Amino acid sequence: MKILWLADPHVGIKRYGHIDSSGIHTRVLDTIKAIETVVTSAIVWGDIDTVVILGDVFTYRNPTNIERKLVAEQIQRLISAGIQVLIIVGNHDVGGLSNNFSQYEHLKVENLQIVVKPEIVEVNGVGFACLPWLNKQDWGCNSNAEVEQLLAQKAMDFRKEKEGKYVPFLIGHFSIPGAVIGSEKQFCMGGEELVPLSVVGGGDFEACFLGHIHKKQSFKGGNTPVMYVGSLVKCDFNERTDVKGVVVSEGEIGGKWKHKFLEIPDRDFVLVKMDAQRLWSLPSEDKPKVMFDLKPGSVVKVEVTVKKEDKALVDVKAIRQALIDCQAHWSEITVNVVGEIDRTQEFSSSLSDLDMLKKFEVDVRKCSPQVVDKVLQEGKKILEECNVGV
């Protein structure tokens, strides 16, 4: 028996690209291509019994109709091939009176299960103890601490509920202490609930698979291995060095399971740091050659370091043309002056909107944790209403 795990596709992210001739953003198409690659592989291999999606299928709580259609086509391909599909909702999937998969719940699509609350579900004779994302308001919680206690208690309750049943996997969409996001950044966002590693890795399950954190990583708090599968594609520039993919678990009911990570290709994300003095010392015909050695279709950020008196001499237009000549898919050019403090780096585009809001409230306004939490909640609502990914 084989189970394929994937997490956080985030269909709908519209960073680092453009609208193409079809009217769809290129990064949306990249994400759908990655999902299609996974689905095609699962079908061609012929031995995948179940596909589990660990939340955040979409980036927005109100995905566009075309985004819904593109995802539904891939789910239907799995179902038509006789592969069971299990989806737990993530924080980007829920909000208000429904979630991004409410229509599937009501239609009761065969071979498709959507999990919106903590429960044990069975698929192909295998039990999954599910802890999807929980909204404070929906569960009567007034603080992150109360949600943490609720999640931990539900995980403990599963230990009793699974007695007499075969439930080898605990799955969820939440954070654990020590998880790392992007390029070696400790997880420290505001408004987050943390479930202790000892609760999910205590040895009561064969393995614990989690979504929500985009960087692939593993932990072991006891006898249970805990793994973040990681997002299917690069959602942020901080993830430029991360390897993206899926996990395939193989085992038998009642037996041991083996887990293998399989890489899924995505565009190259490249950070180029340039010293203007070195660049100017080269013959003009050689400059584009040494500027960039890129794979066509790359997402590129260029940082040029220059002395203050030479800043006006930096030919940004020539750099951009060199990127075009290299067939860069998207680019951003920043000129840093030696000795100047660049305040924009503190609020760079590599931070999410909510991260930047939190940094402003904490570092600039010096707000208390309670005020920051309330501001983040309101900010989240505004971003959703404006159809902006958070």
Percent of the chain with pLDDT over 90: 53
How far apart, in whole angstroms, are the C-alpha atoms of residue 149 and residue 144?
9
- Answer whether residue 33 is part of any domain: yes
Percent of the chain with pLDDT over 70: 86
Please name every residue paired with 78 in a beta bridge, in sequence order, or none if there are none. Answer: none
Full domain range(s) for residue 222: 2-263
pLDDT band at 281 (very low <50, low <70, confident <90, very high): low
Total domains in the chain come to: 3
3-state percent helix, strand, coil for the chain, nearest multiple of 5: 35, 25, 40
Q: What is the mean pLDDT of the chain?
A: 86
- Answer whether residue 119 is part of any domain: yes
Tell me, yes or no, whether 148 and 197 share the same domain: yes
Tell me, yes or no, whether 81 and 224 share the same domain: yes
- Answer whether residue 390 is part of any domain: no
The pTM (predicted TM-score) of the whole model is: 0.84
- Asked if 340 contacts 358 with a C-beta cutoff of 8 angstroms, the reply is no
How far apart, in whole angstroms, are the C-alpha atoms of residue 224 and residue 253?
17
Number of Cβ within 10 Å of residue 216's Cβ equals: 19
- CATH number for 69: 3.60.21.10
- Asked if 101 contacts 87 with a C-beta cutoff of 8 angstroms, the reply is yes
Is 35's pLDDT higher than 50? yes
Least reliable range by pLDDT among 185-199, 228-242, 297-311: 185-199
pLDDT on residue 23: 94
Tell me, yes or no, whether 274 and 159 share the same domain: no
- Answer whether residue 186 is part of any domain: yes
Give the residue with greater pLDDT, 160 vs 169: 169
Tell me, yes or no, whether 304 and 358 share the same domain: no
Tell me, yes or no, whether 191 and 297 share the same domain: no
Amino acid, single-letter form, for residue 234: K
What are the φ/ψ torsions at residue 132 (nearest 5 degrees)? -70, 175
Number of Cβ within 10 Å of residue 166's Cβ equals: 12
- Asked if 48 contacts 107 with a C-beta cutoff of 8 angstroms, the reply is no
- Asked if 47 contacts 41 with a C-beta cutoff of 8 angstroms, the reply is no
Q: Which two tokens stand for residue 14?
A: 């519209």
pLDDT band at 188 (very low <50, low <70, confident <90, very high): very low
Question: Any residues with CB less than 8 A from the CB of 389 and at least 6 apart, and which?
Answer: 10, 12, 13, 14, 15, 59, 60, 92, 353, 383
- Answer whether residue 15 is part of any domain: yes
How far apart, in whole angstroms, are the C-alpha atoms of residue 193 and residue 72?
30
Q: Which among 84, 74, 79 has a CA at the least distance from the CA of 1?
A: 84
Tell me, yes or no, whether 157 and 44 share the same domain: yes
Is 230's pLDDT higher than 50? yes
Amino acid, single-letter form, for residue 241: T
Tell me, yes or no, whether 198 and 283 share the same domain: no
Most confident of 192-196, 216-220, 229-233, 355-359: 229-233
Is 347's pLDDT higher than 80? no
Q: Which two tokens stand for residue 287?
A: 């400059």
How far apart, in whole angstroms, are the C-alpha atoms of residue 317 and residue 307?
19
Is 135's pLDDT higher than 90? no
pLDDT on residue 109: 87
Tell me, yes or no, whether 361 and 251 share the same domain: no
pLDDT band at 345 (very low <50, low <70, confident <90, very high): low
Would you say the C-alpha torsion 127, 129, 134, 139 has a positive or negative sign?
positive
Tell me, yes or no, whether 293 and 363 share the same domain: no
What is the separation, in whole angstroms, between the first and last Cα of the chain?
A: 37
Whole-number CA gyration radius for the chain: 23
- Compute CA distances 129 → 2, 71, 230, 286, whole Å: 18, 25, 20, 59
Q: Which among 337, 326, 323, 328 has a CA at the least distance from the CA of 275?
A: 337
Number of Cβ within 10 Å of residue 178's Cβ equals: 12
Tell me, yes or no, whether 61 and 187 share the same domain: yes
pLDDT band at 187 (very low <50, low <70, confident <90, very high): very low
Please name every residue paired with 7 in a beta bridge, in sequence order, or none if there are none. Answer: 231
Tell me, yes or no, whether 253 and 325 share the same domain: no
Looking at 210, 245, 263, the residue that finishes a domain is 263
- Asked if 218 contacts 261 with a C-beta cutoff of 8 angstroms, the reply is no
Looking at 237, 263, 289, the residue that finishes a domain is 263
Looking at 210, 242, 263, the residue that finishes a domain is 263
- Helix or strand run (H / E) with residue 156: helix 144-161
Tell me, yes or no, whether 167 and 279 share the same domain: no
- Asked if 211 contacts 6 with a C-beta cutoff of 8 angstroms, the reply is no
- Answer whether residue 365 is part of any domain: yes
How far apart, in whole angstroms, are the C-alpha atoms of residue 5 and residue 95?
24
